[in-house]
Structure 1
Amino acid sequence: MHLFRKKCNRRLLMKISALAVLLTWFATMVAANSSAQNLAEIRASLPTESISLREAFKALEKQTNIRFTYVSGDVVKYKQTRTTRRSNNVEAILEDLLTNTDLAYRQVGKTVVIKKKKNVPASDEATEKPVEGVAQSARRGTVRNENGEPVRGATVRVKGTNIVMSTDQNGEFVLKTAGSVPLQVSYLGYQTQELTFSADGQEVLLSPDFGNLDAVTVIAYGTTSKRVSTGSTSSISSEEISRAPVNNALEALQGRIAGLDIGSANGLPGSSPNVRLRGLNSIAADNSPLYIVDGVPYFSESLNMFNGDNGAQSPIAGINPSDIERIDVLKDADATAIYGSRGANGVILITTKKGKAGRTAVNFNAYTGAGKVTNMVEMLSTQEYLELRREAFANSGETPEPTVPDLFEWDQNLDQNWQKKLMGGTAKLTEANASIGGGSESTSFLLTGTLRKETTVQPGDNGYNKGAGMLSVNHNTPDGKFSVSATANYTADFNDAMATDVSQYYNLPPNMPIYNEDGSFYWYNNTQNPYAFLERRHETRNKTLLASGIIRYSPITNLNISTTLGYNHTGLNQIQMYPSTSFNPLQGAGSSSYLGNGSYDSYSIEPQVSYLWDTSWGKLDVLAGATWQQGTREGTYFVGEGFTSDTQLNNINAAVSVRSNGFRYSKYRYQAGFARLTYNWLNKYIVNGTFRRDGSSRFGPDRRVGNFGSVGAAWVFSEEGFLKDKGSFLTFGKLRSSYGVTGNDQISDYGFMDTWSFNTYAYGGIAGLHPTRVANPLYSWETTRKLEFGLETGFLNNRLTLNVNRYYNESDNQLIEQKLSPQTGFSGYRANLPGIVQNRGWEFELTSVNIKNTNFEWNTSANLTIAKNKLVAYPGLESDNINKQYYAIGHPMDIVYGYQFTGVDSQTGVPQFADLSGDGELSQGLDDSYVIGSRSPKFFGGVNNTLRYKNLSLSFLLQFVKQEGEQLNFGYMAPAALGSMVNFDTSVRDRWREANDASDVPRAGVNSNDEAYAAYNTYYRHSDALWGDASYIRLKNVMINYDFTSLLPALKSQRISLYGQGQNLFTITNYDGFDPETKGRVMPPLKYYTVGLRFTY
């Protein structure tokens, strides 16, 4: 819903951004000044009479801002204690109180942890080696945060092995060991602790890491950390994904990742989002990023042979969002060049969840909710519409005939709200997912299952149903040298949609009837009846299987040999049924069905070997590997006509005639060798180099092999002596840069080969062949050169972090259709020519820990992308009469041509346009048109806030986009003229009506001989008069959650919480159509409200 229709321009967005930064900075400074005091600096006093130790702690809590945490049984036994110091600092008082006890204390922030004295090793560095033949025993450890509270869900890893487990609700873990072992303990938002685990009952204290610079970051063929990374990457966690009640995980990334522009195609279930990562790179090839799921390339192209009202189906929906652990987005050459010819458009790595060692845990999550369209356009009432129609006839000098239905035959008082009828319903959404996982230190597993059901806001019983399951098993030997993991994801869905998006009929006459008196559908001339179209069904069944396995062997320390195996199957079956009752009798009768099937099967193998030299002169990490992949794509398309009964439309064999309307078969083979070398000296100077040699079957025999690579470097200047440990305002600083070359092989198969087709007419009963495409053995790679500079900083102990990226990408050797002389027998052929596409931009990422204490936390993250796309060169464009309608040198790749509107003649009401050619005449085509705009956003981003008060948490995401686009009545699909037999939005109330009227809306008319009517139809609806601002600020997502775990101990649940979610809740925009995200006349995105319950047992 558009609550405020204020102009969303650059100035407004900059003011809002500046205000958010100032508020964040102020909160950070306040929080920074509220750090805990040393106990020796805090004064307190206790009564002289004897009191219990617990009472003494309570008395100290009342006088100070510190809090005591302890195990009750350890403290209550000391019922009589006194201090000889009535008034002193807290440190001295505690030492006096605990003198004759078995207790010790430790200050952690504003909390004092009281615990039993233990005999622990003097140093974590002294590691007791296991003794051969000594039986292992189970030892229990506890992980606590800075307040002494147990941390549940912390990851405990035995360093150098694949043994991983998670802490339970008490922050405890159990490890079987015969001696001391090195551990790595990590938890989101805390510094990773490395220690020696040697004693039963040992505690691990985690310290906050506001910037979380040492958190694991997934990169190509490995992991690193933000601190030492040389590439440009961004990530999103499973927690962030779960905040959005979406079917496609990509939709959860909207507004969260700098450089990643994701927009909805429409608001119908199963639709495929539009994804651009740092702009458009190719003129003719696909511009989608490469998707890698658990190390396996994932097929992301639609298999549709034809589309329904929701457009093409997205195979990415086959990866269930609730099964995803994290998504990492790789952007620059340093991060993507190791993927060679497939990395030009960026890479999106999806890592699914895995089982963890520990006792078996059952997770359940379910939510349900309802959705409505985000906005409806205010239309003319029936009386206003009829007034417009009569006025149009009068302006054209005509008297309407008595047979004009809307003026004489239809009910003059009927006021149909077509928007409410066609998309005013309530969509219902329900999803439930469950998982069970656990295992031992050597073998762990995770089994998940999900069911999802959606309906639409359209009339009828259309809907979407989905079922998904995943099984993951991990096993490693006790010595950690050998491990194997396997994961299988299976998804099946059924989408019962309509063949036509009926929302485009929102502007039918408001007094047009739907049915005749006998209950049949009403038809008039060429006017369509959308209720008849509701009977046209479009059913799609998708099945997706992704299986991956990793075998890893480490014969010696730091040497890893592994092989990744992958299989990806996607299958689609679709049928579109047109019953005879859905056709306008004037346009033909009969019934028909369209049947399509598509499938894709891919196998891949990737052996790798890596070794890490860790010496006094630095760390040298070497990786080498190879890739082999084969994919087969098939598709069939049949049309059946002349069914004797509409009930048989789903049976193609019942058709009188069946014809093939298309067949698709292609095989893709790909192989490569790759290497990476990373040198790290003291975590201060890092250099990274990658190389890949690719071979692809999609290119000509002489051009099938290409070389790609990159070099990246980083300088962590905060590690320099003049900054390190100086208590500086700046706590982290890194400069990095990268340059490299990637490629793009996202083109159709066999494009280099000549093709032939059967002649339409036979000779002697035999149909001959004729050539349709000329062969090109030099058909080769498109290449993209990427240059980037980055600055990463952390302030106030990394409470505030700011990352800035400046990138320059240039793609050349473009595969462009070239014209040939008619004498050759071919209209043209596709070849590599020096066409150049340029993308450059700025990316800003800001995170802030505004407030963080025991009871209250407030975190903010924001991102901003300022991008510019430009076509630099296109040889032969001026002579290409087709492509020059869509491209222009010096402009973005997605431009729109239109006419320059100069106003409405105040005397005649006829719209006027500039004669750009200067020939004295206004003509259709490019001569008198110009580039009126681009569909690419000028800048975009988001601001996310997460707040927690005790057990209550709230998060909300604001998304903003600065863009332009077609307004409601722009384009060929818009009404032919103002005054024709369609309704208009209320903006036409300000139309020209009589001489001397000042208006930007032309006068109405009904006759093509009317000058105003003709100008509207030919020029006005294709002009910049109907092209304008489509910027918006949207409350994209809100989630509120309450954790009941501590209130319901009888349930013995590790976690139980109740939550509510909202998606697309309100929008501030100046756009005049349904929604600025989708623009045009399609079903807008839905606004959802859901409530849910999750628990872990």
Structure 2
Amino acid sequence: MNIYAFNNAIGVLPRWLRQTLLVMKITTLILLTALLQVSAASFGQKVTIVKNNIALSEVFKEIRKQTGYNVLWQPAQVNGTKTINLQIKNQNLDDALEQILSSQGLEYSIEEETVMIKPKAPSFLDRVVGVFADINVVGVVVDGETGNALAGASVKVKGGNRTTTTASNGAFYLQGVDEDATIEISFIGFKSVELKAAKNLGTIKLEVSFSDLNEVEINKGYYTEKRRLSTGSVGRVTADEISRQPVSNPLAALYGRVPGLVITQVTGVPGGNFNIEIRGQNSLRKLTDNNGNIPLYIIDGVPFSSTPLNTAASQTMYPLGVNGTGSGVTGASPFNSINPSDIESIEILKDADATAIYGSRGANGVVLITTKRGKTGQMQIDANVYSGVGKVTRKLDLLNTEEYLEMRREAFKNDGINALPANAYDLNGTWDQHKYTDWQKELIGGTAKNTDAQISFSGGTANSQYRFGGGYHKESTVFPGDFADQRASSSLSLSNTSPNQKFKSQITVNYSIGTTNLFVEDLTSKAINLAPNAPDLLDGDGNLNWAAGVSQNLLRSTKNPYDARFINLIANGNFGYQFIPGLILKATMGYTNAMRKEVSKDKISTYLPSIQEFIQNSSIYGSSLINSWIIEPQLIWSKQFQKNKINALIGGTFQDQNSESLSQYASGFGSEALMDNISAALNVSNNYSTAKYRYNAIYTRINYDYNNKYIINLTGRRDGSSRFGPNRQFANFGAIGVAWIFSEEKLIKNSLSTLSYGKIRGSYGITGSDQTRDYAFLDSYNPSTGKYGGLQGLGPTQLYNPDFGWEVNKKLEMALELGFFKERILLTTAWYRNLSSSQLVGYPLPPSTGFTSLPSYNLDATVQNTGFELELNTINIKTQTFSWTSAINFSIPKNKLVSYPNLAGSSYASSYVVGEPLAIVKLYRYIGVNPQTGLYEVQDVDNNNLYNAADFHAVFMGAKFNGGFNNSLKWKWIQLDFLLQFSKQLGRNYLSLFVNSPGYMQNQPKEILSNRWRGLGDLASIQKFTQTSNTTYNRYNRSDALYSDASFIRLKNLSLAYQLPKVIVDMAKIKAARIYIQGQNLLTITKYKGLDPETQAGTLPPLFFLTGGVQLTF
């Protein structure tokens, strides 16, 4: 049964308030109330209705028109009434209502500006019977300061499972409630209240809360808990924060918002991947196909594979290499299939208390993504459209033609070459020596465009809610040509509660399809290196220009398309039944299916015409598939007695995942038109792989809370993984978390009036990791190259290891949370230490075994991550017309390889040093340019004239500290939000982008001219120009000269929005309208000389984007 109230001559008050109030009581509501009050006063309280056979619903609508008063009623009370004839002329509202309701068995009450319709008081006998019956509870929830209705407030029976949310006018209806029950009412930004159940609770005024500690429930996957009572470390990013960013990948929305979370964008190419680490690198393995540091991703309760669905066809455009360490992820990001507009919240679980219930899967942290659900009320339509442009904003200052030719001539002079060779096209007259082209502008200086359109339909009754959404996103590139990445998505959410409130179900489905039209080469490094007087790459007709001296046209790859399409499905069903109060049987079932097909072509016509007769048309076809299912039954029990609360659950996990990958190389197509059809190829080679992964577990959690003051949380889990040998396939994990809310102690309350909240919490636990390749413990064989007796043989490639088992991560955390001045200031500080051991790395074997190593081995190496995190949230100003809130987070991470037996004899000897961080590179110490020879010099540490690994020293490449600073300012209908991201770090500088020494036929930075060595005795920073290779330059390329400060402060995103006033949207007959502009990567403050201090590579950097859009609610 629903409550309906008429406002502005339509069936239900606007529900758009619910969304805006999720942030902080937008000041528009204050003005809206004032407008409504003025409107009501102008109408007065006189009523005139002269009409026959009119329904009560129409009467109430007319009263709202004439008086401005809301009319609150229950449909079941009115639907059975008869039509009436009315001759009411200029009567007082009270008299009119008496006449209207006298024959209908109804009565009314007026509180402030709300008319509440209800059944007439029962007789004495009815009241006696009612003592033993349940009641239906109605009421209206409003802002205690402004009187504005609070849409979407949570109303539930304390200790039970009956719950509802308020409609757009703040009204609610809760059916079948025990008269002795307690009703809990909560809303974000307001203090929760508890009231004794009654048939009519009237108008309930909530007081403003400067903190969301008591209102926001943190999602921890298997359970939720209020932030105030949490014993674990959880970061949270809301739908409102995501909506302010023009991003297509939800991971991009997490930048700078959660302490301890480090995100690095691999490339600015649309669809590219991200590197993510939660509290540091735990595993030594950081390879693309065997990365042991990936967090667990859960979408609506279903594990989501973050493995890129790519083959060799896509690994060139989506390159490998981040922060100069040569590690990371390549290929297209699977998260590009997830629509950020469908996400309600993203929780980041960090410590043992929060992650241990996920056992082995949570060793590197957990990322929980929850999609949007339907809410009670009439159907609401939300539409949002934006479009914008993107650019590369940072470019290198390179030599112009005159400067470049000066460098080239001097190089030949220094080399003693007088007659220019035939291949010196830039100098010998083959190329125009007066021509200048800015290749950065030509190849990566284009304008990328993005377009995004979203629409959703949501609503429902108190027992059933729905939401259906659809979206489209397209993003092009800055490269020359028409290339783009596109995605179409849909989502469905259905929630249902049985009339007796015992059975609940939740079904969510997210489906997306997409296409990628790119080419298989990033042109960024080519744009930097190409000589400025090189010929045009295209002729007048747009064809490849094969001018003299051009044997490799850089635009050749743009004529060889890379096309891909993907399909992604995530489905989840959540079902629960309450047998008795406090005991619920629950089951979660999920299914995912992700598929990607791709093809890249290499056409004869894109080669130099003189060699085309020796080339064959060829294509690479790729097909990848990952599907999985999961079933998790749970039994949940809760009990409260006096000041004690106990929550417990026990459950199991049964998961199965299948993956397939097929890569085919085909050549010999008779025509370029046939290259999409692999059967038209003369030669085809196949590379097929398949794997099955199974994971089972049982788990339990017990939470005890005494008086909302002392809290202990225990979790335990036994996991089994198919990736390990039979002797160690199962393992036990668990954690304990404790918290003391000391601000509830009488002594603290009485002596520290400014301290409104204080909590000390700590946790310790052991989690595991099975992030390794499938079948790593088994014997494996590959076909041998030779044959015997006409038969092809098999050669062993991997040894069997039945003792291959779990990587273990021991996590410890201590934290202090403080709130001052009613939580206007909220501070959280945390210290953590993670020890990761039993590393899943290879063990070297003697040559006599026939193998170089045993890849499936638990090495007794230990990695330690420690750190300090700070999070400060402040409400700086809050008035009826203006508010300003800030949030800053700050992390100081430290990482160290504590032990590694026989490191010198392992494959990691060139990468790691015991006692040093994992994020290091081993380099020569750069001394400078020798004044006598004009060549670079590095330090010979042992003075033996042998430059080798003994002369290297470790250079730390990680961040010394990082964080973000977020601000939100609201004035009347205008809202401004911006986020500053910062990091203190060292990185590869721009000099590393130039493979050859200055003097070769490639461009160079301008500064080499003024800082070069010219003659004997010169003190210079750039060696003499030469167009020959030498060992000194090779050593220079392995030295710390190519590394420098890459610290930065970046205006990561900015959003400026204008909410149209109520008067205007009413005239347009819509509920709400908002126009906005948003920007991403707007400004970077740094001393770093290079394209981007974040990626530090010769790949396309993250783009600057500026978008504008409009959001409408109907």
| TM-score after normalising by structure 1 | 0.86
Question: Structure 1 pair 723/645, CA: closer, same or farther in 2 (3 Å)?
Answer: same
Once the two structures are TM-superposed, the CA of residue 238 in structure 1 deviates from its matched residue by: 0.3
Change (3 A) 1:174 1:612: closer
Kindly indicate whether the alpha-carbon contact (under 8 Å) linking 1:693 and 1:708 is maintained by their aligned counterparts in 2: yes
Please report how far the alpha carbon of residue 1015 of structure 1 lies from its aligned counterpart in structure 2 after TM superposition. 1.4
Residue 376 (structure 2) aligns with: 357
Q: Which of 1055, 1059, 1069 is the matching residue for 2:1072?
A: 1055
Matches within 5 A, 1:709-720: 709-720=734-745
Alignment partner, residue 258 of structure 1: 259
Candidates 1048, 1053, 1056, aligned match of 1:1037: 1053
Quote the residue 2:56 is aligned against.
none
After superposition, residues 973-988 of structure 1 pair within 5 angstroms as: 974-988=994-1008
Q: CA contact under 8 A between 1:131 and 1:178: conserved in structure 2?
A: no
Residues 486, 550 of structure 1: 8 Å contact kept: yes
Report deviation, 1:130.
10
1:208 counterpart SS class: coil
Q: Helix, strand or coil: the match of 2:759?
A: strand
Partner of 1:89: none
Q: Match for residue 14 of structure 1?
A: none
Supply the distance in 2 between the matched residues of 1:843 and 1:640 (Cα, whole angstroms).
53
Deviation at 1:841, TM superposition (A): 0.3
Q: Tell me if 1:431 matches 2:432.
A: no
Matched with 1:366 is 385
Name the counterpart of 2:124: none
The equivalent residue for 1:731 is 756
Q: Which residue in 2 is equivalent to 1:393?
A: 412
Asked if 1:305 corresponds to 2:308, the answer is no
Q: Is the 8 A contact 1:69 1:114 kept in 2?
A: no
* Partner secondary structure for residue 413 of structure 2: helix
Distance 1:1052 1:168, change over 3 A: farther
Q: How many Å separate the matches in 2 of 1:494 and 1:516?
A: 27
User: Which of residues 535, 554, 573 is equivalent to 2:597?
Assistant: 573
After superposition, residues 639-658 of structure 1 pair within 5 angstroms as 639-658=665-684
Report what 1:109 is aligned to: none
1:1095 aligns with 2:1094: no
Q: What one-letter code is carried by the residue in structure 1 that aligns with 2:498?
A: T
**Range that drifts further, 746-755 or 721-730:** 721-730
Deviation at 1:173, TM superposition (A): 4.3
> Secondary structure of 1:336's match?
helix
Q: Deviations over 1:392-436 (max 9, x none)?
A: 111111124262200121011111111111111111111011110
Question: Which sits farther off after the overlay, 67-76 or 1029-1038?
Answer: 67-76
The alpha carbon displacement at 1:201 in A equals: 8.2
For structure 1, the residue ranges without an aligned partner over 5 or more in a row are 1-60, 80-100, 103-112, 121-127
Moved more, 435-444 or 805-814: 435-444
Residues 837 and 870 of structure 1 are in contact (CA less than 8 Å); yes or no, is this contact kept in structure 2? yes
1-structure distance, mates of 2:152, 2:138: 18
Q: Which residue of 2 aligns with 1:123?
A: none
Assess if the C-alpha contact under 8 Å between 2:544 and 2:556 holds in 1. no
1:1085 alignment partner AA: P
* Amino acid paired to 1:309: M
SS at match of 2:990: coil
Q: CA deviation at 1:807?
A: 0.3
Aligned partner letter, 2:557 = F
How far off its partner does 1:878 sit? 0.6
Per-residue CA deviations over 1:1025-1076 (Å, capped at 9, x if unaligned) read: 1111111100000001111141321233222111110110010011111111
The residue correspondences of 1:436-515 to structure 2 (distance < 5 A) are 436-506=457-527, 507-515=529-537
The aligned counterpart of 2:397 is 378
Which of residues 633, 639, 664 is equivalent to 1:607? 633
In 2 relative to 1, CA 611–400 (structure 1 residues): closer, same or farther, beyond 3 Å?
A: farther
Show structure 2 runs of 5+ residues with no match: 1-30, 47-92, 95-110, 119-126, 286-290, 319-329
Deviates further, 212-221 or 423-432 = 212-221
Match 1:966 to one of 976, 988, 1006: 988
Deviates more, 1:313-322 or 1:498-507: 313-322
* Cα pair distance change 1:1037/1:672, threshold 3 Å: same
Residue 1026 in 1 paired to residue 1048 in 2? no
Indicate how the Cα distance of structure 1 residues 821 and 116 shifts in structure 2: closer, same or farther if over 3 A, else same. Answer: closer
Instruction: Give the match for residue 190 of structure 2.
Output: 190
Which of 708, 725, 742 is the aligned partner of 2:767? 742
What secondary structure sits across from 1:650 in the alignment?
Answer: coil
Residue 964 of structure 1 contacts residue 1027 of structure 1 at CA under 8 Å; is this kept in 2?
yes
Please tell me whether the aligned partners of residues 168 and 1054 of structure 1 are also in contact (alpha carbons under 8 angstroms): no
DSSP-derived class of the 1:780 partner: coil
1:99-155 residue CA offsets vs partner (Å, 9 max, x unmatched): xx99xxxxxxxxxx96689999xxxxxxx9995998988956242252222334434
The whole-number CA distance in structure 2 between the counterparts of 1:656 and 1:371 is 43
Counterpart secondary structure, 2:579: coil
Residues 182/460 of structure 1: CA separation in 2 closer, same or farther (3 Å cut):
farther
Aligned equivalent of 1:205: 205
User: Which residue in the other structure is 1:407 paired with?
Assistant: 427
1:884 aligned to which of 909, 934, 937: 909
SS of corresponding position for 2:955: strand
Aligned partner of 1:781 among 806, 814, 819:
806
- Is the Cα contact below 8 Å between 1:69 and 1:148 reproduced in 2? no
Aligned to 1:105: none
Q: Is the 8 A contact 1:219 1:335 kept in 2?
A: yes
- Once the two structures are superposed, residues 1002-1045 of structure 1 have per-residue CA deviations (whole angstroms, 9 ceiling, x without a partner) of 1111123xxxx5412x1112211111111110000000111114
**Contact kept? 1:374, 1:1064, Cα under 8 Å:** no
Task: Give per-residue Cα distances to partners, 1:955-975, cap 9 Å, x unaligned.
Answer: 0000001111111222xx632
Q: Distance in 2 between matches of 1:132 and 1:1051?
A: 49
**Paired residue for 1:928?**
951
SS in 2 for 1:988: helix
| RMSD over aligned Cα atoms | 2.8
Shift of 1:922: 4.1
Match of 1:675 in 2: 700
Secondary structure of 1:534's partner?
helix
State the partner residue of 1:867.
893
Q: Quick one: which amino acid aligns to residue 789 of structure 1?
A: M
Moved more, 316-325 or 925-934: 925-934
Deviation of 1:71 (Å): 7.4
* Alpha-carbon shift at residue 185 of structure 1 (Å): 3.3
Q: Residues 648-678 of structure 1, C-alpha deviation per residue, up to 9 Å, x if partnerless?
A: 2222112111111x21111111100001111
Provide the secondary structure at the position in 2 that maps to 1:555: strand
Using structure 2 for the length normalisation, give the TM-score: 0.85
Deviations for 1:879-921, whole angstroms, at most 9, x for unmatched residues? 23x42111221222232122111111223321111002331x1
Q: Does 1:337 align with 2:356?
A: yes
* CA separation of 1:764 and 1:150: change in aligned 2, threshold 3 A: same
* 1:829 match: 854
Residue 624 in structure 1 maps to residue 650 in structure 2 = yes
Structure 1 pair 162–363 and aligned structure 2 pair: CA distance change class (3 A): farther
Does the 8 Å contact 2:994/2:1004 carry over to 1? no
Query: 3-state DSSP class of the match of 1:437?
Result: strand
Q: Is the partner of 1:1064 in helix, strand or coil?
A: strand
On the 8 A contact 1:525/1:586 being kept in 2, the answer is no
Alpha carbons 1:700, 1:779 under 8 Å: kept: yes
**Aligned equivalents of 1:515 and 1:721: distance in 2?**
79
The residue identity in structure 2 corresponding to 1:975 is V
CA distance in 2, matches of 1:1096, 1:251: 26
Letter in 2 for 1:566: G
- Alpha-carbon deviation of 1:78? 9.8
Q: Cα gap change, 1:129/1:457 in structure 2, threshold over 3 Å: closer, same or farther?
A: farther
- 3-state DSSP of counterpart to 1:884: coil
Specify the SS of the correspondent of 2:1037: helix
Distance in 2 between residues matched to 1:361 and 1:957, nearest whole Å: 31
2:378 partner amino acid: R
Asked if structure 2 preserves the Cα contact closer than 8 Å seen for 1:364 and 1:1096, the reply is yes
Aligned to 2:726: 701
Query: Take 1:402 and 1:869, find their aligned partners in 2: how far apart are those partners?
Result: 52
Distance 1:677 1:165, change over 3 A: closer
Matches of 2:729 and 2:268, distance apart in 1: 41
Return the letter of the residue paired with 1:926.
A
